[in-house]
Amino acid sequence: MLLPIYQIDAFTNRPFAGNPAAVCPLTEWLTAETMQAIAAENNLAETAFFVPRHGNEYEIRWFTPAVEVELCGHATLASAHVLYRHLNFQEPEIIFHSKSGPLRVNQAEAGMLTLDFPARPPHPIHHHPDGLLDGLRATPLQLLAGPDLVCVFATEAEVRALHPDMVHLAKVEYRAVIATAPGSGGVDFVSRFFGPRVGVPEDPVTGSAHTTLVPYWAERLGKTHFHARQVSARSGDLWCELRGDRVLMSGHAVTYLKGEIEVVG
């Protein structure tokens, strides 16, 4: 069986930056074991698979090299890019049905796509989970818990300087650890995302993390529109808005490769 595959750099307007995602459009679902094996073979932070429902609606699933995840921003952006750029999709909106509910993607200004995701506000916690300080090799000013553990630092330089010990960080009993701080030069806030527990030591640009970061920074800064930057080695930019219980995230995407994979059995 031959399956189409695309590799897309998401949340960037140039190749070799942003977050690379593999996208496999399907006509019907493969087994979870097969999709997990493909994702492991791709060895990217996420591989997205989608199948059509009807009209502008699709079902979507995402796999890291190690596990299936319930929400992924950059691979959803990449999937929408594949539909618009390569599969002749022409409707103004795509609706992806996922384990996290319906996710909408619209075309935006300047060639960007806008994701409409559920907001997942964090709440403060007052203890350091096992493995955190040894893992980060730094002490955050504040901790907040959502689906991920958010570690707030005073400066962008501190976030950029982090060099975590992934063995210790994998002991932290959250999906991932996010480091964040105020930004500079017109960027409202910066972040990095570490997910060794789910097979992603550092994710270059993480849309799902911003469903937690945007509500936090909205409350802290007293505003609802943000320019966010994930300051990984590849780096990427998101233009975000908190709109009620939803987070909108806009970004660019570019195609790196397209081809076929052969699946036996």
What the block records as the tokens of 4 is 């189409």
- pLDDT in the model for residue 265: 63
If asked whether residues 86 and 157 sit together in one domain, one would say: no
- pLDDT in the model for residue 109: 87
**Cβ pair 105, 72 in contact under 8 A:** no
Consecutive sets of 10 residues in the chain, 265 residues long: mean pLDDT of each? 97 97 98 97 97 97 96 98 97 96 94 97 96 98 97 98 98 97 97 95 97 98 98 97 98 98 83
Active-site residue flag, 33: no
If asked whether residues 88 and 183 sit together in one domain, one would say: no
- pLDDT in the model for residue 25: 98
**Cβ pair 190, 231 in contact under 8 A:** yes
Q: How far apart are CA 180 and CA 19, in angstroms?
A: 18
- pLDDT in the model for residue 18: 97
What the block records as the tokens of 184 is 């500079």
If asked whether residues 97 and 141 sit together in one domain, one would say: no
Q: Which of 46, 70, 93, 158 is catalytic?
A: 46
Residue 169 region, left (φ>0) first, then alpha (ψ -120 to 50), else beta? alpha
Q: How far apart are CA 10 and CA 104, in angstroms?
A: 16
Domain range for 69: 2-118+250-262
If asked whether residues 92 and 163 sit together in one domain, one would say: no
What one-letter code names the amino acid at 41?
E
If asked whether residues 26 and 48 sit together in one domain, one would say: yes
Domain count, the chain: 2
If asked whether residues 146 and 228 sit together in one domain, one would say: yes
Q: How far apart are CA 214 and CA 220, in angstroms?
A: 10
If asked whether residues 103 and 141 sit together in one domain, one would say: no
If asked whether residues 140 and 73 sit together in one domain, one would say: no
**CA 104 distance to own-chain centroid:** 15
Decide: pTM greater than 0.85. yes
- Give me the CATH number covering residue 90: 3.10.310.10
Residues contacting residue 176 through CB under 8 Å, at least 6 positions apart: 148, 149, 193, 194, 195, 197, 198, 200, 203, 206, 209
Which run of H or E residues covers position 260?
A: strand 253-262
Q: How far apart are CA 35 and CA 61, in angstroms?
A: 9
If asked whether residues 238 and 169 sit together in one domain, one would say: yes
- pLDDT in the model for residue 263: 87
If asked whether residues 7 and 111 sit together in one domain, one would say: yes
Q: How far apart are CA 217 and CA 265, in angstroms?
A: 48
If asked whether residues 22 and 42 sit together in one domain, one would say: yes
Q: How far apart are CA 27 and CA 53, in angstroms?
A: 10
Which run of H or E residues covers position 240?
A: strand 236-243
Q: How far apart are CA 170 and CA 224, in angstroms?
A: 33
End-to-end CA distance of the chain: 8
If asked whether residues 28 and 49 sit together in one domain, one would say: yes
